Structure 1
């Protein structure tokens, strides 16, 4: 397993537009499956990835509010699309457009989560970086993790309210604008 003290190098890694990063986790977010694209881009071996929390690749510049939104959506049995920057085991980072969904068994019970990630357009990444930078700056103004989360969550909700949209609409506006 990667040491928890991986330092971001500032080197960005990309992957091809026709590639999809796929992972599956249990209900606690522990990796149960990772495809070869995930392993290559995250600089992890299968042995290093499987059995570890998906947060293994959490980049320190990802705002807490986005992860709250993710977990709130999954607990409500909803899918979520989000722009995410991840941290590879070698310190490189990579941006993805993630689609995360609950996985259900034959009885309709949630047994885990499935995530497919595509290569995002640069314009969408730039817009996400701007928003996420503002959210992280707000988080850094607070000493406690809960206060930081509450502050960035309030800021995200206020921004979305000002624009009259949901986070899903924000993501799709970025996706559609950068595709033109």
Structure 2
């Protein structure tokens, strides 16, 4: 089990770029543009056929996705700010607009267009989502500094036990 802390490395979506994807009605990715693949760190082949929530960052409150799904299942458009996790566990923010795709008047899939988010808005949304997760009783984000020896010990333990850091901490505190 490898310990990585890359989730603090941000990739900015370049101005003028749009990330586009399509999913089936269950959220399985059926199409991605090159920008999506590049920003997410995955290849198009790795994304197609996977659930879109492969990108879900743990900082995102569950209620945001509940609202998203409730809205699009009513065949209404949804838009909002989303923090996604890259393949390398880094992250990127997007403003997402999701709507249905219809054929002969019948909903057949969803399309999503995502655009860059200004830095000030990303900071604002991080605080809003932190407060939402806290209010909803979800996990909270914590950043700490450890002596290098402690980090190495945690890395060794996770490797030996093939468990995540969360599992190690949970078992140690109980």
Fold match by TM threshold 0.5: yes
Aligned equivalents of 2:138, 2:114: Cα separation in 1: 31
2:39 is the alignment partner of 1:35: no
Q: For residues 49 and 141 of structure 1, do their structure 2 counterparts lie closer, same or farther at Cα, with a shift above 3 Å needed?
A: closer
Q: Which residue of 2 aligns with 1:171?
A: none
Q: Write out per-residue CA displacement over residues 50-108 of structure 1, whole angstroms, 9 at most, x where no aligned residue.
A: 000000100011001100110011011111110000000111100000001011112x1
Partner of 1:139: 136
Structure with higher Rg: it is: 2
RMSD: 1.8
**Equivalences, count:** 137
Q: C-alpha distance in 2, partners of 1:83/1:141?
A: 19
Identify which of 108, 111, 133 aligns with 1:111.
108
- Contact kept? 2:82, 2:96, Cα under 8 Å: yes
Which TM-score applies when normalising by structure 2? 0.74
Q: Tell me: CA distance 1:7–1:138, structure 2 relative to 1, closer, same or farther (3 Å).
A: farther
Structure 2: state its 5+ residue gaps: 140-174
Q: Report the CA distance between 1:7 and its aligned residue.
A: 6.3
- Unpaired segments ≥5 residues, structure 1: 143-180
* Post-superposition offset of 1:123: 1.8
Whether 1:9 and 2:10 are equivalent positions in the alignment is: no
Provide the rounded CA distance (Å) in 2 between the counterparts of 1:116 and 1:76.
Answer: 19
More contact order relative to length (CA 8 Å, sep ≥ 6): 2
TM-score with structure 1 setting the length? 0.72
